[in-house]
Amino acid sequence: MKEDIGGVSVEMEGAGLVEQGGDRVGRVDKVGYVRKVIVKKRKPYRRVRKPVPKVPKVLQELFVSCKETFKGPGTVPSQQDVQKLCHILDNMKPEDVGLSKNLQFFKPENIVKENPRVTYTTIYKCANFSLCIFFLPAKGVIPLHNHPGMTVFSKLLLGQMHIKSYDWVNPEVSHNLLQQPSQLRLAKLKANNVFTAPCDTSVLYPKTGGNIHEFTAITPCAVLDVIGPPYSKDDGRDCSYYRDHPYAAFP
């Protein structure tokens, strides 16, 4: 088929498409659209593993010893286990838990003038025991509180603090002495001393050793507490707070 276009003779065969250069591609009956697929090349990413921080040997020993010592609610560690745990804690240093006296928090000039806030961090916790560190700024106070059914090891890592502790007097004796039904209960003073780090570990038991105690920081302090079993409101081990009054104040 020939057709004159502007004086130029053009020969057309069917309705084929022709690429540049005159080569026939093929016959087309319908006009369609060509979808362009763009394939992005993946960048050669490499998986880099983060280094696992190395746990200090003494902290690992403490963890293993706690697993062996605390058998669960309703149990009290044996004297042999208590001595072993105390030995580990007595040899612990602030650096074993990532602390240093050179940190800003522990410097003498770091004095909180109003409402010093006590904070804490949990290292580990399970149904049988917990490991946590309490941070008390100067003049910070953890009020008088109890540890129902618990055995607690307290290790002062840094600072100087005053510790006051009590044990309950036999309920029958307490009732007879107070001679009145009330929320008051008689307790005997167990400790009322100032401790300076480094010092020996203190231990309290469910019914002895100063189960009710109060911490008052003289300088910024860090205290490592090993508690077994840990507080649990659902299991009847909620924390209660108290105020102490001298016995002479009551007629």
Query: Which residues partner with 237 through β-bridges?
Result: 232
How far does the chain reach from its first CA to its final CA, in angstroms? 130
Average pLDDT, the chain: 82
Torsion over CA: 242, 246, 247, 248 (sign): negative
pLDDT one-digit tens code per residue, 192-236: 999 999 999 999 999 999 999 999 999 999 999 999 999 999 999
| Rg of the chain over all Cα atoms, to the nearest angstrom | 38
pLDDT at 71: 94
What's the rounded Cα separation, in Å, for the pair 103 and 105?
5
Residues 6+ apart with CB under 8 A from 184: 178, 245, 250
Query: Do 169 and 187 form a contact (C-beta atoms < 8 A)?
Result: yes
Give me the DSSP letters along 147-196. -TT-EEEEEEEESEEEEEEEEE--HHHHHHHH-S-SS---EEEEEEEEEE
What's the rounded Cα separation, in Å, for the pair 128 and 67?
8
pLDDT one-digit tens code per residue, 46-82: 777 777 677 889 999 999 999 999 999 999 999 999 9
Tokens of 168: 């309950």
What's the rounded Cα separation, in Å, for the pair 215 and 140?
8
Query: Which residues partner with 116 through β-bridges?
Result: none
Q: Is the pLDDT of residue 35 over 70?
A: no
Mean pLDDT, to the nearest integer, of 30-56?
A: 64
Window from 77-91, 128-142, 164-178 with minimum mean pLDDT? 164-178
